[in-house]
Structure 1
Amino acid sequence: MSMTSPPGWYPDPGIPALERWWDGAAWSEHTRPAGAPPRRRGRPALPVAVAGVVLVAAVAVAATFLRPGDDGAGGGTGSPPAPSASASGPVSAPASPPASAPASAPPSDGPADGPAAVADQLNGITLPVLDGWREPEYGTDGAPTVATVADAPCPSATGRRCARGTVSSRTAPASDTTSPQALAEQDIERAAEWAYGEDRLGNRPHGGIRSHRLLAARPAVVAGRTGYLVRWRVVTGAGPGGYVQSLAFPSPAGSEAPVVVRFALDATQDAPPLTTMDEITKGIRPIGGPTGGGVGSTIAP
């Protein structure tokens, strides 16, 4: 009699430093660092009554999947697939739930299952979650982030996958200037390195940056504030390269430190179009405040 491992996070057979989500029938594309706790960022807590309903529903769903003798969706025994070689990653099923694998929910696959916006509480803004985008389980550097649901193998990193598009916000680093134009011009090189250069582990998933070309440098209105953007086309050592943008503007929260939002889109046909950068810029909103008006609100982004 075969046994089906319940949905959960399990050690990735191909990458020991990661855990991969097992949905009860097959491996998903979602991964996270091994032993990491579930992230909770930018989402308000559920009211007690709603949380109770969600808990009851979760118990009912778990009971449905764990009924003895219940067959899988394909009409078979419900057993995990046998190991096989695949370019998309490991597919061998976990034998049993390890003690280190918490029974947490898998990451959301899109706006329908998650928030319509990701909140950056520190800087007083929200980033819109467009169709085909989501809030990833883990950002690249802990900053509030949205990324495309679709990904692909990284051009120069075996066993790793790279999102087709990523946007994240952060407080501008300490500087002698608070001018949005100067900040965007200073940050664009860091944004390019953040997206297509060396990662925190010293790896170069895209083969490093070979060259860049300026595409745009202009004022932009963000959350009712006048800001400035700089956009580059980046050529990488491996893969298609892409587009990066630094967008700097005063914080709607009234803090002295400005905000910088970094954008990255791959230069491939299946990546979001370049106009997505403008769409996301227009969708950035102040937390709990009006979306229009303010200094420079008549300037087109």
Structure 2
Amino acid sequence: MTQVTPPGWYPDPGQKPEGPRTERWWDGSVWTEQTRAAETGAAPGPPAYAPAAPGAHPQAYGYPQTSQPPGQFGHPGYPGYPAYPEPKPRRGLKIAIAAGVAVVVLGGIVGGVYALTSGDGDGKSDRADSSSSPSADPGLPQAPGDGPGGSGGSGGTGGAGGESGAPQAPGSGGGFAADLVNGVSVPVLDGWTGGTTKGGNAGVTTGPYACPGDTKQQCVRGGAFSASAEALKLKATGAKAAAEEDISKNAQESYGGAIYGKITSHKELASEAVTVAGQKGYLVRWQVVTAKGDDGYVESLVFPAPADPKSLVVVRFGIDVNDKAPDVTSMDKITKGIKKSAIAEGGGNGQNV
């Protein structure tokens, strides 16, 4: 039987090295936006092992791992980032989530998330069998969750190499998934689950199921993941140019690849300016046709980080074209619900959410 990390104040996983020490409230399943100054006298210790989600093989969006990350089971001294169960290949999107030099390789597929993970940051990702164990970031409290639609990210099959593990949190619908790096929170729609990656980014997913191409892998019908443009190695410095640069990468990493077949064609559904968290951003949305399996919708949304307008935030979406997948309008609902948060700024009195 696995144990669950109890609610309480713990060292803030989004703590800035140069800032004052803070603590964040863990509600028993996910990190909240409540923070407070850390109590004096006790310096934070190293991340403890994260509790595993109930169930032998929790489902989640994220990245399957070739080996179990440290701190996956047991009762941690304090929770780390909530981790998502690992989704596996299905057909679709790969999403790269990064924080600093660590890039989380999300393997999500549109119509089924395929999880890939790599911990060396060299861009090479290793396939992992999600059935073997839940995907989690070292030191992240873990709970059952869904993966993004697709096989590599927000709904596809792979991700940009880097940090291994994916966010995971129990619960379905309501609340927000916090991006501790970029200072934004992504809404968790009804029927979706969300959480924070070890690297500090946000991810939400829905519709876990056995991947068609490999039933041992776990996929999801839809997903959205945040990352910085720098982590995704985008060269563009403006929101519009960055979205246009990222969409093809998003589509290829999500629905391309040998396992799910190549993308045979695509149609642009939208390319427009949009306001996100009070910032002027831009989105590009495609519908892609694949050689096998479900087709998918992919979107790259880019906007300046509220806490640092010079830095761009990228949210990659992926949703299967399937009756069991969420409606494509879920992308719009998530976009409208993204809000600025004080997470990346530190501090707080622990009372306001």
Indicate the TM-score class for this superposition, using the shorter chain for normalisation: 0.5 to 0.7
What is residue 210 of structure 2 aligned with on the other side? 153
1:210 aligns with 2:264: yes
- State whether residues 107 and 136 of structure 1, in contact with CA within 8 Å, keep that contact through their aligned partners in structure 2: no
Match of 2:177 among 101, 109, 118: 118
1:36 aligns with 2:69: yes
Match of 1:185 among 211, 228, 244: 244
Per-residue Cα deviation, 1:48-92 (whole angstroms, up to 9, x for no partner): xxxxxxxxxxxxxxxxxxxxxxxxxxxxxxxxxxxxxxxxx979x
Q: Give the superposition deviation at 1:36.
A: 1.4
Aligned-residue identity in percent: 38
Per-residue Cα deviation, 1:26-50 (whole angstroms, up to 9, x for no partner): 765469533213383379xxxxxxx
- Determine the C-alpha separation between the residues in 1 that align with 2:329 and 2:259: 25
- Determine the C-alpha separation between the residues in 1 that align with 2:296 and 2:266: 10
- TM-score by length of structure 1 reads 0.59
Q: Give the superposition deviation at 1:254.
A: 1.7
- Determine the C-alpha separation between the residues in 2 that align with 1:163 and 1:275: 17
- What does 1:241-256 align with in structure 2 at a 5 Å threshold? 241-256=295-310
* Partner secondary structure for residue 181 of structure 2: coil
Per-residue Cα deviation, 1:253-297 (whole angstroms, up to 9, x for no partner): 1242211110000000110001100000001011139xxxxxxxx
- Determine the C-alpha separation between the residues in 2 that align with 1:111 and 1:105: 8
What is residue 111 of structure 2 aligned with on the other side? none
- State whether residues 304 and 312 of structure 2, in contact with CA within 8 Å, keep that contact through their aligned partners in structure 1: yes
Between 1 and 2, higher relative CO (CA 8 Å, sep ≥ 6) is seen in: 2
- Determine the C-alpha separation between the residues in 2 that align with 1:168 and 1:237: 25
CA RMSD of aligned residues (A): 3.6
- Determine the C-alpha separation between the residues in 1 that align with 2:253 and 2:200: 13
Distance 1:282 1:257, change over 3 A: same
Distance 1:143 1:241, change over 3 A: farther
Unaligned stretches of 5+ residues in structure 2: 4-51, 73-78, 84-129, 133-138, 147-168, 344-353
- State whether residues 277 and 306 of structure 2, in contact with CA within 8 Å, keep that contact through their aligned partners in structure 1: yes
* Partner secondary structure for residue 263 of structure 1: strand
The aligned amino acid for 1:36 is P
Match of 2:188 among 125, 129, 144: 129
| Structure with the largest fraction of helix | 1
What is residue 202 of structure 2 aligned with on the other side? 144
- State whether residues 32 and 138 of structure 1, in contact with CA within 8 Å, keep that contact through their aligned partners in structure 2: no
- Determine the C-alpha separation between the residues in 2 that align with 1:113 and 1:230: 27
- Determine the C-alpha separation between the residues in 2 that align with 1:276 and 1:252: 23
Match of 1:266 among 320, 335, 349: 320
* Partner secondary structure for residue 253 of structure 2: helix
The aligned amino acid for 1:126 is S
- Determine the C-alpha separation between the residues in 1 that align with 2:266 and 2:254: 13
- State whether residues 126 and 285 of structure 1, in contact with CA within 8 Å, keep that contact through their aligned partners in structure 2: yes
- TM-score by length of structure 2 reads 0.51
